Structure 1
Amino acid sequence: MALKRFFSLEERFKKNPALKQEYVNFMQEYIKLGHMKEVNEKPKTKVYYLPHHAVIKEDSTTTKLRVVFDASAKTTSGQSLNSIMMTGPTLQKDLFILLLQWRMFKIVFMADIEKMYRQILIHHDDRDLQRILWRNDQKKPIKEYKLNMITYGTASAPYLAIKTLFKLAEDERINYPLASETLNEKFYVDDCLGGANTIKECKQVQEELIQLLRKGGFNLRKWASNEPEMLTNIQIKDIEPGLEMQFNNDQAIKILGIKWCPKLDQFEFKINTTSFRSKYTKRAILSDAGKLSIWLVVTCNH
């Protein structure tokens, strides 16, 4: 099954050389950073081969193409890795409550953890369940690789990643009390929504948070804030693209799917009047209303 899908992927590469190049670059980075490793030995335990494909995010300011591994693909047994995997409980905070709490602060900032999943190792005994097939060139033989890190597409990935952050906060609570609280209460997976009511306190939270996450090998990037001073000590490469050089534009950036303008400190949203349904049902009306309700309530509270 994995081999068949890989051949299908290569056929797609033939039709789209640009896609192939981006895909190859992505996989080369995986190898270079040690996130996957070539294997030649026969496995001592059960093996699962993850098919993989490209997901394109045109609105991404960092990585346009991401390779996603399909752990839901069924084998000849009728089961997939995800179907037999313990996923763990939901640990992330309620998105709506998190946004409301964020806007309680006068000074706010946002950032995200760079390649969060890929900074967390999987136990050696489990890596044979994360094997993939890959080659850069169709003229070369197909090789097998193990994915060494938490992997996109596996059911337990969100739980394992968030639990790792919680453990880091617990271990370093004495040294970084403000950052530990932020890590536990003001993150949505890899997105941080922090703040305070004074610049001094907010900068203290920011500095502690940077140091705390470095203890775990994590880097915070794509920083943005409604207060320019919060970005003065951040390297330009780690500031949200478009906000690096100046703070005098009205650029809106995405935060958990919502557009936010740091300078004006307000949320923005658009209603697409060209996508109205030809037929409305109660379910359709509730669905459309749900998409707007979070904007209306957050804006009013702000």
Structure 2
Amino acid sequence: MNDLLGVLIRFRQRKVAIVADIEAMFHQVRMIDSDRDVLRFLWWENGNLDAQPKEYRMCVHLFGATSSPCCSSKALKQTADDNEKQNEVGKMAIETIRTGFYVDDCLSSVESIDVAKHLVQRLSGILSEGGFRLTKWLSNNRDVLDSIDESERAPSVSLFLDELPTERTLGVCWDAGSDSFTFQLTPKDKPMTRRGLLSVTSSVFDPLGIAAPFVLLARSLLQEVCRRGADWDQPLTEDEKKTWTQWLDRTSILSQVSVPRWVKLDITTAVQMHIFCDASEKGYAAVAYFRIEPDGKKPTVEFIIGRARVTPLKLVTIPRLELMAAVLAATLDSTIRRELSYSINETVYWSDSMIVLSYIRNENRRYKTFVANRVSKILSESSKHQWRHVPTKENPADEGSRGTYELGKWLTGPDFLYKDEAYGKRRWRQVQYLANIFWTRWKKEYLPLLQKRHKWTTPRQNVEVCDIVLLVDETMPRGRWPMGKVISVYKGKDGKVRSVDVKIAGGVLKRPIAKLCIIYRGSIAKDVNHC
């Protein structure tokens, strides 16, 4: 069975969209004789429970049975295999049956009106041979709808109005007239308890993450209620009631949210994916955009997917949460690439955490298990050269990690993505120039203070075993000087330490003390038995 998110992603690829539904899909797929006993049931004629019931078996798959969606999807794909043809429209129809259906819902997009008309006819013909009837057709183009019999169109389509309706497609509201996804949230009237909060927040279905920052506020409140150990039916505190009422009152804002369905992948060959990630005490988030450069036109930025999650109940440091957000960003990239029919030229990851970027770019230092596992996951899905720094004010994932009622940059992306690529390169070079200036001044002005030498007439503490030191190496680029621990010392005739052995991630190095900067005294570690 196809992944729901994958079907929605492919639905957004091309200009002309078509939607349909298989009528009573489960009842068109017969059960084999040996499995029919599983679906036995008793039947009382005319509802008379005093009469002797009759025993029946279902010969077709049943609505509500766990096996029905999988078995019906298999029958649908078998129909495609049995009717596979060699002409172009036939190939497209077969591919649509294989990748454009989620159970009984068909969502597809094509490049032109003519192709859409042929695809509608071809799909109906192929599926009718397998015993399936496609109905409730809807498209964002009136010409395509006019080519379909009135009885086969969606009931909401009017013959006398040019305006096209808004329909739910896989739980997402699609306005066919404006060809955009909208959001309609009408919370049920539930008691202000932990159970009521869970019921309302769980009813929000948002597979694309359009309203993820908004929903995060409610989930964060639910987490606070759980953290203080409230019972399921215990009333909320006054502050919690105030926060919850404010969230419910703001749900009407979501009706103004609109995200274009078409991401213009069929009219360009230059596609970049930009994924931003961030974390805060409330949650961590990642959001992905396509940067499209149509021929001869200005770049456009399209929202693809967003994810926002509350932080774990167990306290986790902000750097580790930032790392979890980076893992989420890498996962988004692999998901989109796996489900997309088009190739992406480049993926760029953005984070405002320099700690995370140093984790990813590290080549020598070993980390604890938590960090090492997540860095390994990130590097298995991406390359360290793809990761860049973005200021917090320009990071749209900041809205997702903190939660917000106003969905601004979360849906539109940062302003710098709308500028030409040369601007981004100039900006990157400027950042590198400033970093080089800082590194040069750090070496010349601050580092000598760590290496300060005193007169031999004044007794000073020698370098000791267990000291944590930074190894000065002018031949290495900035930020790559290794850090290690002193494991042995070599003294001169005067009893002063002249050189040491330092253990680093790649082995053991012998260095003179003039090339060391002491970061952490080993004597402190010995006092607390950490050495």
> By the TM > 0.5 criterion, same fold?
yes
Match of 2:339 in 1: none
Which of 76, 79, 86 lines up with 1:165 in the alignment?
76
Match of 2:93 in 1: 179
SS in 1 for 2:210: helix
Residue 101 (structure 2) pairs with residue 99 (structure 1): no
Match of 1:46 in 2: none
Contact 1:222 1:240 in 2 (8 A): yes
SS in 2 for 1:301: strand
| Cα distance in 2, alignment partners of residues 250 and 171 from structure 1 | 36
Residue 134 (structure 2) pairs with residue 225 (structure 1): no
* Offset at residue 125 of structure 1 (A): 2.3
Match of 1:126 in 2: 35
Q: Please list the CA deviations of residues 168-205 of structure 1 after superposition, one character each: whole Å capped at 9, or x if unmatched.
A: 11111126322110000111111000121111111122
Task: Using the TM superposition, name which of 185-194 and 142-151 deviates more.
Answer: 142-151
> What amino acid sits opposite 1:128 in the alignment?
D
Residue 173 (structure 2) pairs with residue 259 (structure 1): yes
Contact 1:267 1:295 in 2 (8 A): no
CA spacing shift, 1:242–1:129, aligned 2, 3 Å: same
Match of 1:148 in 2: 59
CA spacing shift, 1:301–1:101, aligned 2, 3 Å: farther
Map 1:4-43 → 2, pairs under 5 A: none
> What amino acid sits opposite 1:117 in the alignment?
F
CA spacing shift, 1:109–1:133, aligned 2, 3 Å: same
| Cα distance in 2, alignment partners of residues 288 and 118 from structure 1 | 30
Map 1:227-246 → 2, pairs under 5 A: 227-246=141-160
Contact 1:178 1:208 in 2 (8 A): no
SS in 1 for 2:177: coil
* Offset at residue 160 of structure 1 (A): 0.8
| Cα distance in 2, alignment partners of residues 167 and 216 from structure 1 | 9
Match of 2:395 in 1: none
Structure of greater Rg: 2
SS in 1 for 2:13: coil
SS in 2 for 1:245: coil
| Cα distance in 2, alignment partners of residues 216 and 293 from structure 1 | 31
The TM-score with structure 2 as length reference comes to: 0.36
> What amino acid sits opposite 1:216 in the alignment?
G
| Cα distance in 2, alignment partners of residues 268 and 169 from structure 1 | 33
| Cα distance in 1, alignment partners of residues 185 and 204 from structure 2 | 13
Match of 2:496 in 1: none
* Offset at residue 260 of structure 1 (A): 1.4
Match of 1:62 in 2: none
| Cα distance in 2, alignment partners of residues 274 and 145 from structure 1 | 39
SS in 2 for 1:294: coil
| Cα distance in 2, alignment partners of residues 268 and 100 from structure 1 | 16
Match of 2:425 in 1: none
> What amino acid sits opposite 1:201 in the alignment?
V
Match of 2:452 in 1: none
CA spacing shift, 1:128–1:276, aligned 2, 3 Å: closer
| Cα distance in 1, alignment partners of residues 207 and 128 from structure 2 | 37
* Offset at residue 96 of structure 1 (A): 2.2
> What amino acid sits opposite 2:60 in the alignment?
M
| Cα distance in 1, alignment partners of residues 152 and 131 from structure 2 | 16
CA spacing shift, 1:276–1:145, aligned 2, 3 Å: closer
> What amino acid sits opposite 1:97 in the alignment?
G
| Cα distance in 2, alignment partners of residues 277 and 264 from structure 1 | 37
Q: Considering only aligned residues, what root-mean-square deviation do their CA atoms show, in Å?
A: 3.1
CA spacing shift, 1:128–1:203, aligned 2, 3 Å: same
* Offset at residue 152 of structure 1 (A): 1.9
Match of 1:206 in 2: 120
The TM-score with structure 1 as length reference comes to: 0.61
SS in 1 for 2:109: strand
Q: Which runs of 5+ in 2 are unaligned?
A: 212-257, 260-301, 305-531
Q: Please list the CA deviations of residues 215-239 of structure 1 after superposition, one character each: whole Å capped at 9, or x if unmatched.
A: 1011001111000111223222221
Q: Please list the CA deviations of residues 7-45 of structure 1 after superposition, one character each: whole Å capped at 9, or x if unmatched.
A: xxxxxxxxxxxxxxxxxxxxxxxxxxxxxxxxxxxxxxx
SS in 2 for 1:296: coil
* Offset at residue 100 of structure 1 (A): 2.2
**Matched positions, count:** 210
Match of 1:35 in 2: none
Contact 1:110 1:223 in 2 (8 A): yes
Q: Extract structure 1 runs of 4+ deviating beyond 6 A.
A: 273-277
Larger relative contact order, structure 1 or 2 (CA cutoff 8 Å, min sep 6): 1
Contact 1:269 1:295 in 2 (8 A): no
| Cα distance in 2, alignment partners of residues 292 and 257 from structure 1 | 8
> What amino acid sits opposite 2:9 in the alignment?
L
Task: Using the TM superposition, name which of 288-297 and 250-259 deviates more.
Answer: 288-297
SS in 2 for 1:259: strand
> What amino acid sits opposite 1:301 in the alignment?
F
CA spacing shift, 1:111–1:247, aligned 2, 3 Å: farther
* Offset at residue 271 of structure 1 (A): 4.1
* Offset at residue 270 of structure 1 (A): 2.8
Residue 97 (structure 2) pairs with residue 188 (structure 1): no
* Offset at residue 294 of structure 1 (A): 2.0
> What amino acid sits opposite 1:181 in the alignment?
E
| Cα distance in 2, alignment partners of residues 292 and 276 from structure 1 | 20
